[in-house]
């Protein structure tokens, strides 16, 4: 019975240890002989453990999206749109005012003739998208108000949008492995950007803040139904212009969109080759004229999507005139000098328009997003910026490792001195604890930060506490005159209750840190929680198994225990 | 076998008034320091020396080829009208300096702009000592706006309080609510005393110090639980003994564990203070004090409070019984009894509980 139990325990421990050890020091590719040399193990460990910015160096930026400025601009834009819509309908209002004081955003239209109000409201409804606004009429005024819930929603959308713009811009800049995520409370509208390896974030900061360039252009091509004229190389495109680019033409790269699959799923094949097109200068309208864009389902096919966009009044006038004259010709959407999509003009487009093309839901949404992301929805402001040079990070690693190793060596020395033979148990448990904790970090993809190293050092403390509790208890039981096996049994059983209580309380407080804390608090909580959970296995289960083995080795009654 | 304490028989609870007097003195000293500094600002100090993390401002860490003195750096900074900069040499690395610019503006947009400008000012000033990258190298920067700083501060306080409530509930669930309350009071005491030290010595309170406070909360509760756990066990084994005696015995029985564990933790934290580098300094200092007082408080604060409270409840219970009120037969059985159905009920403990319902 005891033997079988021991075998089962040994197998579990062996499997967990080997697995943990492999996760920590093993390579992620098919292992070669080289991976088991000291240098190979070091390299594998370095690539397995994800280091935080404070250890590997890089920049950490927290920015706030000024959503109040966004709502303000939205209100002003709508005010202008309402005014021109009313004028167009031949119902010139006396005055259209925008009110953006405090947290209130409203637009008031005043006329001299109250009987015209329903007509005006109807006219405005047709021309201006005011879905989120609530309308009220009193006397000879109409007031559109943005309710708080809609304010929150729009502010949230603006932040979400800024988040995506920042992502795509970071991609464009070529920052390796950037981390972009929402930060703090939802209502704080903050975005955290971490850029490993970037030491002087000034350039990136300016780029993130910069306005981006969006244009709608005429693509030089035979009209629909023949497909759009593209060229495989820049030279070919130039050749079509006779070798030189005239002042009113431009050659631009074109990353062609994938066609949607029948089921509406995203295409699985890799993106197609880059092509080139020739476009007319100047652009028909540019991003400054864009008011909104969104993906919409076309009436025809269930799985076909188009992009609906709306322009500001001035842009709409220009665009309407141009599109009316160029039905069936091709129009391109250009973002930062790259053609993102080409579509043909079905009918004259004014304020509201659609870019059709057989878009899947995903690609239509993406495109609408890029359209909207032409410019940041609202100005952003940097609230926190931290940079760590690689040398400072390396210093911190060295200091942290040094402190951990000294702490560990000291503890090991003491345990061996004080508990003699049983001290070996504690040492085995401690080392296993370290290995499994690192394995846990890797499995959960958590990052190891400087406070994380502090958490490891504290785990050493808690781990050794468990052993001390158990050993002291066993000694006590031996003193009361129990036999060695029953003293060990009792010692573990009694100490276990205490260990569970102490571990659970610390895990509870660490969980609060992990869930609600930010940055450093989190890094600390991660290693501490992992270390404590692992400790229940290493300090209790493994240590107990070693005792069982020790006691079962001697056939006769055990008279003494090295403790 | 090497043994530190074999059979200690010390009457800890007899000293409770002394212990509590010491603790109250320490807490009052910290409080007095904080209040005095907040109102009078001697030498421009405040209640706490809040770091850039919480107050907003700029920190530039620079490493020099030929390390100048702090005065030289201060002089070049003063030329760029950054007189109030704090120049702090890194103790374990003589060529590295932390240059801190506290935040002046308070408005939201204003502070963000000021913090950004601060970093540039420091870099420009240092150029007077030689070109960047050649004579010196900026190896780290921290710019924190006032709003972000306040957010971090509020969050840290809220998270700590939430964690304490979590601990209180767990102990109340595992033991009794009096135990939980005593443990949390003891932890509060540790945090207050530690903060008191930070105010008195004007050590900088950074985000890592908050992490240390949370660790110390965990450790202090850990220690308290070890003692309480023993009390719970002893109450089951020695039903005739008074709570006073049981508590003293339990503290004595766990004393060797307390000394060994906390001694080891103390020494590993000490190794962090000595070798952990500048960044961890605040963390390890806070923890060093915290571990010391955490150990002390679980023996000297948590247990006396728990005993005092339980005795009061018992006295009230006895008074109620003497006054002739019948003891409700269906009174809440104690949890300890529920967990050990084998033990025989009705040995004094039950009557203590009975009147409480």
Please tell me the predicted confidence (pLDDT) of residue A344. 78
B137 and B155 in one domain?
no
In this structure, of A21-30, A174-183, A483-492, the range with the lowest mean pLDDT score is A174-183
Q: Evaluate if residue B356 carries a pLDDT over 90.
A: no
Distance between terminal CA atoms of chain A? 26
Please tell me the predicted confidence (pLDDT) of residue B182. 93
Output DSSP code: residue B104: -
B104 and B124 in one domain?
yes
- Predicted complex ipTM exceeds 0.90: no
Is domain A58-212+373-388 given the CATH code 3.30.70.3400 in the classification? yes
Architecture field, domain A214-358: 2-Layer Sandwich (3.30)
Q: Evaluate if residue A4 carries a pLDDT over 70.
A: no
Cβ-in-10-Å burial (0-12, 13-18, 19+) of B357 comes to exposed
**CA nearest to A166, candidates A201, A210, A130:** A210
Q: Return the residue matching tokens 């990258």.
A: B133
> Which comes out higher in pLDDT, residue A149 or B211?
A149
* Residue B45 maps to a domain: no
All residues at 6 or more sequence positions from B227 whose CB lies less than 8 Å from its CB, including other chains:
B250, B251, B254, B258, B298, B299, B302, B303
Closest Cβ–Cβ partner in B144, B214, B230 for A509: B214
Q: What count of other Cβ atoms lies within 10 Å of the Cβ of residue A328? A: 12
Domain boundary among B87, B114, B144: B144
Please tell me the predicted confidence (pLDDT) of residue B196. 93
* Residue B47 maps to a domain: no
B196 and B67 in one domain?
no
Question: Which segments of chain A belong to CATH 3.30.70.3400?
Answer: 58-212+373-388
Sheet of A249-255: strand order equals: A274-280, A249-255, A338-344, A330-335, A214-218, A285-286
* Residue B238 maps to a domain: yes
Closest Cβ–Cβ partner in B143, B171, B211 for A520: B211
Domain boundary among B105, B125, B144: B144
Please identify among residues 273-312 of chain A the ones whose CB lies closer than 8 Å to any CB of chain B. none
Please tell me the predicted confidence (pLDDT) of residue B335. 41
Question: Which segments of chain A belong to CATH 1.20.1640.10?
Answer: 2-56+389-553
B138 and B157 in one domain?
no
* Chain B CB contacts of A407 below 8 Å: 267-268, 271-272
Of all residues in chain B, the one with the smallest CA distance to A402 is B275
Q: Evaluate if residue B333 carries a pLDDT over 60.
A: no
pLDDT band at A336 (very low <50, low <70, confident <90, very high): low
pLDDT, tens digit, 9 for 90 and up, residues A202-219: 767 766 765 545 678 888
B23 and B153 in one domain?
yes
Architecture field, domain A2-56+389-553: Up-down Bundle (1.20)
Q: Evaluate if residue B344 carries a pLDDT over 90.
A: no
Q: Does A444 touch chain B (CB under 8 A)?
A: no
Closest Cβ–Cβ partner in B139, B171, B229 for A498: B229
* Residue B51 maps to a domain: no
* Chain B CB contacts of A458 below 8 Å: 215, 219, 265
Q: Evaluate if residue B94 carries a pLDDT over 80.
A: no
Please tell me the predicted confidence (pLDDT) of residue A375. 66
CATH for B286: 1.20.1640.10
Q: Evaluate if residue A560 carries a pLDDT over 80.
A: no
Report the SS3 class of residue A227: coil
Average pLDDT over residues B297-322: 89
pLDDT band at B307 (very low <50, low <70, confident <90, very high): very high
pLDDT band at A365 (very low <50, low <70, confident <90, very high): low
B214 and B96 in one domain?
no
**Bridge-partner residues for A217, per DSSP?**
A332
pLDDT band at A77 (very low <50, low <70, confident <90, very high): confident
Tokens read off for A137: 């009429």
Q: Tell me if A521 and B151 make a contact (CB, 8 A cut-off).
A: no
Give chain B's mean pLDDT.
80
pLDDT, tens digit, 9 for 90 and up, residues A85-125: 887 777 777 888 888 887 889 999 888 878 888 888 888 88
Q: Evaluate if residue B354 carries a pLDDT over 50.
A: no
| Percentage, residues of chain A above pLDDT 90 | 13
> How many structural domains compose chain B?
3
Tokens read off for B21: 């007097």
Q: What count of other Cβ atoms lies within 10 Å of the Cβ of residue B325? A: 10
* Residue B234 maps to a domain: yes
d(CA A403, CA B277): 9
Whether B188 contacts A431, CB under 8 Å: no
Q: Evaluate if residue B9 carries a pLDDT over 90.
A: no
Three-state DSSP string of B147-203: HHHHHHHHHHHHHHHHHHHHHHHHHHHHCCHHHHHHHHHHHHHHHHHHHHHHHHCCC
B225 and B186 in one domain?
yes
pLDDT band at B133 (very low <50, low <70, confident <90, very high): confident
B183 and B268 in one domain?
yes
Please tell me the predicted confidence (pLDDT) of residue A211. 52
Report the SS3 class of residue B106: coil
B162 and B266 in one domain?
yes
Question: Which segments of chain A belong to CATH 3.30.1360?
Answer: 214-358
| Percentage, residues of chain A above pLDDT 70 | 85
Q: Evaluate if residue B106 carries a pLDDT over 60.
A: no
Whether A303 contacts A262, CB under 8 Å: yes
Average pLDDT over residues A339-367: 70
d(CA A408, CA A463): 11
In this structure, of A34-43, A349-358, A545-554, B159-168, the range with the lowest mean pLDDT score is A349-358
pLDDT band at B330 (very low <50, low <70, confident <90, very high): very low
Radius of gyration of chain A (CA): 34
Q: Tell me if B277 and A399 make a contact (CB, 8 A cut-off).
A: yes
Whether B24 contacts B305, CB under 8 Å: no
Please tell me the predicted confidence (pLDDT) of residue A437. 93
Å from A431 to nearest chain B CA?
16
CATH for B73: 3.30.70.3400
Please tell me the predicted confidence (pLDDT) of residue A267. 45
B333 and B301 in one domain?
no
Please identify among residues 305-364 of chain A the ones whose CB lies closer than 8 Å to any CB of chain B. none
In this structure, of A39-43, A341-345, A420-424, the range with the lowest mean pLDDT score is A341-345
In this structure, of A153-157, A273-277, A414-418, the range with the lowest mean pLDDT score is A273-277
Q: Tell me if A520 and B63 make a contact (CB, 8 A cut-off).
A: no
d(CA A242, CA A247): 13
Q: Evaluate if residue A341 carries a pLDDT over 80.
A: no
* Residue B63 maps to a domain: yes
* Chain A CB contacts of B219 below 8 Å: 458, 461, 506
pLDDT band at B245 (very low <50, low <70, confident <90, very high): very high
Please tell me the predicted confidence (pLDDT) of residue B252. 92
Å from B122 to nearest chain A CA?
14
Residue-number span of the structural domain to which B86 is assigned = 57-144
Average pLDDT over residues A488-516: 88
Average pLDDT over residues A141-150: 90
pLDDT band at B179 (very low <50, low <70, confident <90, very high): very high
Q: Does A104 touch chain B (CB under 8 A)?
A: no
Q: Evaluate if residue B82 carries a pLDDT over 80.
A: no
B257 and B158 in one domain?
yes
Closest Cβ–Cβ partner in B167, B230, B283 for A454: B283
Please identify among residues 359-388 of chain A the ones whose CB lies closer than 8 Å to any CB of chain B. 381-388
Average pLDDT over residues B90-95: 74
Average pLDDT over residues B192-220: 85
Q: Evaluate if residue A307 carries a pLDDT over 70.
A: yes
B165 and B283 in one domain?
yes
């Amino acid at each position: 019975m005891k033997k079988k139990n021991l075998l089962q325990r040994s197998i579990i421990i062996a499997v967990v240890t080997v697995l943990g050890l492999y996760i920590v020091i093993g390579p992620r590719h098919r292992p070669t002989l080289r991976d088991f040399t000291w240098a190979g193990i070091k390299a594998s460990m370095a690539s397995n453990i994800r280091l935080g910015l404070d250890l590997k160096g890089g920049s950490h930026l927290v920015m706030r999206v000024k959503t109040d400025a966004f709502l303000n601009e939205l209100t002003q834009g709508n005010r202008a749109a309402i005014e021109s819509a009313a004028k167009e309908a031949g119902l010139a209002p006396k005055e259209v005012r925008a009110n953006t004081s405090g947290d209130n955003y409203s637009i008031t239209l005043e006329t001299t003739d109250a009987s015209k109000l329903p007509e005006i409201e109807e006219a405005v409804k047709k021309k201006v998208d005011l879905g989120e606004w609530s309308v009220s009429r009193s006397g000879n005024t109409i007031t559109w108000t943005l309710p708080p819930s809609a304010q929150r929603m729009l502010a949230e959308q603006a932040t979400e949008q800024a988040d995506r713009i920042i992502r795509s811009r970071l991609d464009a800049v070529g920052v390796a492995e950037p981390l972009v995520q929402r930060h703090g409370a939802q209502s704080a509208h903050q975005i955290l950007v971490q850029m490993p390896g970037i030491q002087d974030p000034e350039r990136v900061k300016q780029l993130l803040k910069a306005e981006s360039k969006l244009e709608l252009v005429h693509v030089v091509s035979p009209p629909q139904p023949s497909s759009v004229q593209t060229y495989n190389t820049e030279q070919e495109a130039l050749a079509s212009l006779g070798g030189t680019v005239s002042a009113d033409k431009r050659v631009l790269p074109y990353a062609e969109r994938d066609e949607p699959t029948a089921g509406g799923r995203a295409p699985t094949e890799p993106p197609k080759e880059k092509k080139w097109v020739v476009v007319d200068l100047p652009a028909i309208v540019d991003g400054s004229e864009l008011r909104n864009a969104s993906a919409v389902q076309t009436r025809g096919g269930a799985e076909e999507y188009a992009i609906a966009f709306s322009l500001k009044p001035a842009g709409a006038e220009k665009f309407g005139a141009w599109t009316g004259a160029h039905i069936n010709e091709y129009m391109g959407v250009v973002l930062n000098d790259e053609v993102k999509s080409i579509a043909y003009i079905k009918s004259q487009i004014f304020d509201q328009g659609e870019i059709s093309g057989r878009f899947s839901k995903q690609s239509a949404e993406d495109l609408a997003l890029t359209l909207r992301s032409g410019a940041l929805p609202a100005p952003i402001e940097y609230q926190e910026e931290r940079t760590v040079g690689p040398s400072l990070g390396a210093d911190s690693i060295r200091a942290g490792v040094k402190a951990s190793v000294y702490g560990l060596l000291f503890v090991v020395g003491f345990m061996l001195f004080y508990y003699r033979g049983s001290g070996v148990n504690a040492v085995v448990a401690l080392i296993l604890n370290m290995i499994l904790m690192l394995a846990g970090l890797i499995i959960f993809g958590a990052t190891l930060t400087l406070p994380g190293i502090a958490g490891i050092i504290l785990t050493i403390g808690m781990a050794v506490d468990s052993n001390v509790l158990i050993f002291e208890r066993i000694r006590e039981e031996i003193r009361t005159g129990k036999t060695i096996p029953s003293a060990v049994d009792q010692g573990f059983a009694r100490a276990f209750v205490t260990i569970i209580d102490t571990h659970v309380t610390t895990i509870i407080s660490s969980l609060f840190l992990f869930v609600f804390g930010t940055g450093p608090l989190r890094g600390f909580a991660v290693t501490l929680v992992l270390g404590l959970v692992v400790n229940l296995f290493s300090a209790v289960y493994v240590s107990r198994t070693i005792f069982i083995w020790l006691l079962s080795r001697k056939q006769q009654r055990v008279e003494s225990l090295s403790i | 076998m090497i043994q530190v304490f074999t059979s200690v028989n010390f009457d800890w609870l007899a000293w409770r008034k002394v212990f509590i007097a010491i603790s109250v003195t320490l807490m009052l000293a910290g409080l007095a320091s904080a209040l005095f500094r907040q109102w009078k600002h001697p030498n421009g100090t405040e209640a706490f020396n809040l770091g850039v993390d919480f107050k907003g401002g700029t920190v530039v860490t620079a490493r020099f080829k030929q390390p100048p003195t702090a005065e030289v750096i201060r002089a070049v900074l003063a030329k760029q009208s950054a007189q109030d900069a704090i120049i702090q040499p890194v103790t374990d690395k003589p060529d590295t300096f932390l240059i801190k610019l506290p935040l002046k503006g308070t408005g939201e947009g204003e502070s963000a702009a000021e913090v950004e400008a601060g970093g540039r000012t420091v870099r420009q000033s240092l150029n007077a000592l030689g070109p960047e990258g050649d004579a010196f190298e900026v190896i780290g920067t921290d710019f924190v706006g006032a709003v972000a700083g306040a957010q971090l501060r509020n969050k840290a306080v809220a998270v700590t309080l939430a964690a304490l409530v979590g601990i209180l509930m767990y102990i109340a669930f595992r033991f009794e609510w009096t135990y939980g309350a005593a443990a949390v009071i003891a932890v509060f005491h540790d945090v207050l005393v530690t903060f008191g030290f930070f105010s008195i010595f004007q050590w900088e309170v950074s985000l890592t110090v908050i992490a240390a406070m949370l660790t110390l909360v965990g450790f202090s509760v850990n220690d308290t639980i070890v003692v309480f756990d023993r009390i719970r066990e002893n109450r089951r084994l020695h039903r005739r003994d008074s709570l006073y005696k049981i508590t003293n015995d339990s503290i004595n029985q766990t004393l060797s564990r307390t000394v060994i564990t906390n001694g080891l933790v103390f020494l590993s934290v000490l190794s962090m203070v000595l070798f952990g580098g500048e960044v961890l300094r605040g963390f390890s200092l806070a923890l060093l004090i915290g571990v010391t007082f955490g150990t002390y408080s679980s023996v000297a604060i948590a247990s006396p409070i728990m005993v005092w409270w339980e005795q009061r409840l018992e006295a009230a219970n006895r008074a109620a019984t003497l006054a002739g009120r019948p003891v409700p037969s269906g009174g809440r059985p104690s949890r300890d009894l529920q967990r050990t159905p084998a033990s025989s009920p009705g040995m004094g403990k039950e009557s203590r509980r009975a009147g409480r319902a």
